């Protein structure tokens, strides 16, 4: 992965995974995408994503109130934990590609750190999601020191499962999450 995001050289290899002082970069650049920390200015981008039937499996997508609530939760996550969601852009054009990041979730009663990645459909099939997922693994493991990261996807979403495998996650099991059957992938 071509990257401009070397992990901090002062971080000890045996850092505890609950290091509350660790923070993720607010931005990073790869050869084919750049990432910037989510902010309130990204609300229009989130509206476009949360109303896209390919990204949100509900008719009509989410309401403005729901989208604003999600944004508030994601911004609070950054403030509380020092990591969260980034907006992804094409570095040559500045066009928004989607979003990716790390966030705490509860899976069957256990707190996990999830790799989250969603691209607008016109950018699917180009390896960009794999690049973003790999960057999230690097940040989560090398920068933040988390011993394990997870990702969830629907059983029928074989493309997302391929992305996760390419990002070094392995299928662990099916779980119930958000009222849906999901496939849980995990780093080693």
Tens-digit pLDDT profile for residues 3-57: 444 444 433 333 334 444 578 999 999 999 999 999 999 999 988 887 777 776 6
Collapsing DSSP states into helix, strand and coil, what is residue 158? helix
**pLDDT digit string (tens) for 43-94?**
999 888 877 777 766 556 688 898 899 999 999 999 999 999 999 999 999 9
Predicted local distance difference test score (pLDDT) of residue 59 = 59
The gap from C-alpha 26 to its chain's centroid, in whole angstroms, comes to 14
List the one residue out of 139, 162, 161, 152 whose CA is nearest residue 183: 152
Residue 127, classed as helix, strand or coil, is coil
Apex 114 CA angle, 188 and 22, nearest 5? 85
pLDDT on residue 163: 97
| Average pLDDT, integer, range 141-151 | 95
Task: Measure the CA–CA gap between 53 and 61, rounded to whole angstroms.
Answer: 6
Class of 27-147 in CATH: alpha beta
* Domain range annotation of the chain: 27-147
Q: From the centroid of its chain, how far is CA 71?
A: 14
């Amino acid at each position: 992965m071509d990257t401009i995001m070397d992990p901090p050289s002062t971080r000890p290899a045996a850092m505890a995974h609950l290091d509350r002082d660790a923070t993720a970069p607010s931005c990073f650049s790869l050869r084919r995408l750049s990432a910037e920390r989510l902010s309130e200015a990204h609300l229009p981008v989130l509206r476009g994503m949360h109303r896209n039937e390919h990204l949100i499996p509900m008719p009509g997508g989410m309401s403005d109130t729901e989208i604003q609530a999600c944004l508030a939760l994601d911004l609070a996550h950054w403030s509380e934990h020092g990591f969260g969601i980034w907006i992804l852009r094409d570095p040559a054009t500045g066009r928004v590609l989607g979003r990716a990041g790390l966030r705490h979730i509860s899976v069957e009663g256990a707190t996990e750190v999830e790799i989250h990645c969603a691209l607008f459909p016109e950018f699917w099939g180009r390896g960009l999601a794999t690049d973003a997922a790999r960057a999230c693994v690097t940040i989560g493991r090398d920068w933040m020191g988390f011993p394990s990261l997870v990702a969830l996807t629907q059983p029928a979403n074989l493309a997302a499962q391929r992305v996760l495998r390419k990002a070094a996650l392995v299928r662990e099991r099916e779980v119930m999450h958000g009222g849906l059957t999901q496939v849980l992938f995990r780093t080693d």
